[in-house]
Amino acid sequence: MTQKIVFLDRASLAPGTAPRSPAFDHDWVDFDETRPDQVAQRIADADIVVTNKVPVSEADMAGAANLKFIAVCATGTDIVDLAAAKERGIPVSNVRGYAEYSVPEHAFGLILSLRRQIPGYTADVKAGKWQDAGAFTFFTHELVDLHGTRLVIVGRGSLGQGVARIAQGFGMEIVFAGRKGDTAPGDGLVPWDEAIETADVLTLHCPLTPETRGMIGADELKRMKSSAILINTARGGLVDEDALVAALNAGEIAGAGFDVVSSEPPPADHPFMALVGRPDFVLTPHTGWAGHTAKKAMVDQLIDNIENFHKGAPTNLV
């Protein structure tokens, strides 16, 4: 029997990233983009749904009588109503570990951009300040070496571990933070409060869940070192974005590098947009995952998940 596969947001994959064709009889339908109000109609007769960032709700599933499997073409699965899928016996799989090099490298790109003041000095050179200085160099921004500074990593999965491996090469002190609210985490983890207060670089590599949403708020930012920087290549919702803007404006932390925002793309009036161009803030458009090897690994794993489900041996279930 031919299986209908619907990809709700094919354009979310980088150009040239083409999944291979699943090795079973199927009819594959691509939509470049899908609004939330279009999901139910587009998956109404689908057997398998593929989504990257388009939400699939309980109501959407209720109208899809043939739906047997949801394949998320990403690691984060908060876009799918997992409770509703479980109730209806619809397995959900995600892709994992495909960006184990790409995201850590991007995180360090943000760290180095801020610690070596690359955006600030680039802007100064463009503005003619080197010529104005009349010397072989000039000093308008404080440079901070990574060697010997404390890197606190939130999340000890493949991405957090990848960041730790890179940090070893820079001679940083590497610690992993325990869960927020756990005063005695054990297993080599540093208690949350100590981790926040002692970090020179705090980098987030954990999923967005009800427990982690807003985990970095005004209180945490006030307790961080004024010389510390915050890096987020995980999910925008982990950080209270208004509180971060206030903290940067008040000099409570030295800088922030983000690859994610709570609403993507951020609207023109998003508080982060007022920070773009400042030397203490770097914002990239959720590209940390998109290294060339990572993109291929992602789509290969996506199709593996679909084929394994069809064989009756689903993989990467969530």
pLDDT of residue 306: 98
Whether residue 66 lies inside any domain: the answer is yes
Are both 261 and 301 inside the same structural domain?
no
Instruction: Name which of 149, 190, 202, 200 is nearest 171 in CA terms.
Output: 149
**Is residue 286 annotated as part of the catalytic site, yes or no?**
yes
Are both 257 and 299 inside the same structural domain?
no
- Calculate mean pLDDT across residues 144-161: 96
Residue 232 · residue 260 · CB < 8 Å: yes
Residues 192-219 pLDDT 10s: 999 999 999 999 999 888 999 999 999 9
Per-residue pLDDT band for 184 (boundaries 50, 70, 90) equals confident
Instruction: Name which of 277, 309, 313 is nearest 119 in CA terms.
Output: 277
- The single residue of 235, 241, 252, 270 carrying the catalytic annotation is 235
Overall domain count for the chain: 2
Whether residue 42 lies inside any domain: the answer is yes
- Cα–Cα separations (whole angstroms), residue 310 to 21, 70, 75, 85, 93: 13, 12, 21, 17, 13
CA 313 to chain CA centroid, Å, is 29
**Is residue 20 annotated as part of the catalytic site, yes or no?**
no
Whether residue 318 lies inside any domain: the answer is no
> Which DSSP state fits 37?
G
Cα–Cα distance measured from residue 318 to residue 222, given in angstroms and rounded to the nearest whole number: 36
Whether residue 317 lies inside any domain: the answer is no
pLDDT of residue 95: 94
Per-residue pLDDT band for 182 (boundaries 50, 70, 90) equals confident
Whether residue 16 lies inside any domain: the answer is yes
Q: Is 74 helix (H, G, I), strand (E, B) or coil?
A: coil
pLDDT of residue 220: 97
Task: Tokens for 153, please give them.
Answer: 């990593």
Are both 118 and 12 inside the same structural domain?
no
| Helix (H) and strand (E) counts in the chain | 11, 11
Are both 76 and 93 inside the same structural domain?
yes
Whether residue 316 lies inside any domain: the answer is no
Are both 40 and 115 inside the same structural domain?
no
User: pTM score, two decimals?
Assistant: 0.86
- Calculate mean pLDDT across residues 212-232: 97
**Is residue 235 annotated as part of the catalytic site, yes or no?**
yes
Are both 140 and 173 inside the same structural domain?
yes
Per-residue pLDDT band for 290 (boundaries 50, 70, 90) equals confident
- The single residue of 42, 106, 286, 310 carrying the catalytic annotation is 286
Whether residue 115 lies inside any domain: the answer is yes
> Which DSSP state fits 53?
S
Are both 121 and 210 inside the same structural domain?
yes
Per-residue pLDDT band for 17 (boundaries 50, 70, 90) equals confident
CA 136 to chain CA centroid, Å, is 39
Instruction: Name which of 168, 296, 153 is nearest 233 in CA terms.
Output: 153
- Cα–Cα separations (whole angstroms), residue 198 to 19, 160, 175: 44, 18, 10
The helix (run of H) or strand (run of E) holding residue 293 is: helix 292-310
Q: Residue 276: which CATH number?
A: 3.40.50.720
Burial of 318 (0-12, 13-18, 19+ CB in 10 A): middle
Whether residue 269 lies inside any domain: the answer is yes
pLDDT of residue 243: 98
pLDDT of residue 29: 97
For 293-317, give one letter per residue: b (16+ CB within 10 A) or e. Answer: ebbebbbebbbbbbbebbeeebbbe
Are both 212 and 138 inside the same structural domain?
yes
Are both 114 and 90 inside the same structural domain?
no
Are both 188 and 122 inside the same structural domain?
yes
CA angle, corner 251, sides to 248 and 252, nearest 5?
85
3-state helix, strand, coil in the chain (%, to 5): 35, 15, 50
> Which DSSP state fits 191?
P
Residues 76-124 pLDDT 10s: 898 999 999 999 999 999 999 888 999 999 999 999 999 999 999 999 9
pLDDT of 235 above 90: yes
Range of the structural domain that residue 203 is part of? 102-283
Instruction: Name which of 277, 230, 227, 276 is nearest 252 in CA terms.
Output: 227
User: Is the Cα torsion angle 261, 267, 270, 276 positive or negative in sign?
Assistant: positive
pLDDT of residue 14: 77
Are both 80 and 134 inside the same structural domain?
no
Cα–Cα distance measured from residue 163 to residue 177, given in angstroms and rounded to the nearest whole number: 14
pLDDT of 314 above 90: yes
pLDDT of 75 above 80: yes
Cα–Cα distance measured from residue 178 to residue 100, given in angstroms and rounded to the nearest whole number: 21
Are both 219 and 302 inside the same structural domain?
no
- The single residue of 33, 87, 173, 264 carrying the catalytic annotation is 264
pLDDT of 130 above 90: yes
